[in-house]
Structure 1
Amino acid sequence: MEEQPVTTMKQAQQLVKQFALMNQWSDAPTIDKFDHLHEELIEMSKHLRYKSEAERIQCTKEKKEIFVDGIGDLFFALCRLANQLDIDIEEAFKTARKEVFRKYNQKSERKP
């Protein structure tokens, strides 16, 4: 499969879907994708656990490639999960963004 430019979440989701089809991966929902997301988060978090804020900042600079790889793996797995659940990832993000902005804008408005 040729590398195609991806500029939107929708394009990324479609590319992941095409890749899965090409490799004959099932898009039936499975617990595996949830587990995969969890494993990727744990893999990244272990580098920051039990460190001070300054140490975490330094670690993310020194081990940036680990975090770039982890975020990429998470996004790919998230696209797979969205495909398995027949969820438009851009629409899900828009909904979440509205909720987070509403929730935290209210909190910031209450501060003196």
Structure 2
Amino acid sequence: MNEKRDLSVKDAQETVRKFAIENGWKDVPNIDKFDHLHEELIEMSRLLRYLDEEGRKKAIIDKKDEFEDGIGDLFFGLCRLSNQLDIDVEKAFNRVKDEIISKYNNKKGEEKLNL
């Protein structure tokens, strides 16, 4: 599990799946996983809450490690929840990405974004 290589989204999801199996974690979705993701978001939002725009910019720089840990925790938890729900994270992202680009693309009528 101590792999130090860059992982694709699929590889990351599979790594989390294998880790859960190796550690005897149940693969039944429960409210705790949703709560865990919510708690991680709240922790990061607290780092910026009540700050003006300049304060947020400074906090993002000063607390980069905390944000990176939070994003990592969120992604691990998201992979875990996705495995519990039998959802392919990459497939889900690509489907939603296309919907969001179509809905919010400011370049409508211009050359399509190649994302």
- TM-score normalised to the size of structure 1? 0.91
Q: Which ranges in structure 2 are unaligned for 5 or more consecutive residues? A: 110-115
Aligned to 2:108: 109
Q: Which ranges in structure 1 are unaligned for 5 or more consecutive residues? A: none
Deviations 1:20-61 (A, max 9, x none): 000000111111110000000000000101111111010010
Q: Distance in 2 between matches of 1:4 and 1:82?
A: 23
Q: Distance in 2 between matches of 1:66 and 1:9?
A: 22
What is the aligned length?
109
> What are the equivalent positions in structure 2 for 1:1-112 lying under 5 Å apart?
1-3=1-3, 5-105=5-105, 108-109=107-108
- How large is the RMSD of aligned CA atoms in angstroms? 1.5
Deviations 1:40-83 (A, max 9, x none): 00000001011111110100100111000000000000000000
* Structure 1 position 3, deviation (Å): 1.6
* Structure 1 position 109, deviation (Å): 3.5
Q: Distance in 1 between matches of 2:28 and 2:38?
A: 19
The 4+ residue runs of structure 1 with deviation greater than 2 A are 4-7, 107-110
Report sequence identity in percent: 55
Q: Distance in 1 between matches of 2:12 and 2:97?
A: 19
Q: Distance in 2 between matches of 1:85 and 1:5?
A: 26
Between Structure 1 and Structure 2, which shows a larger proportion of helix residues? 1
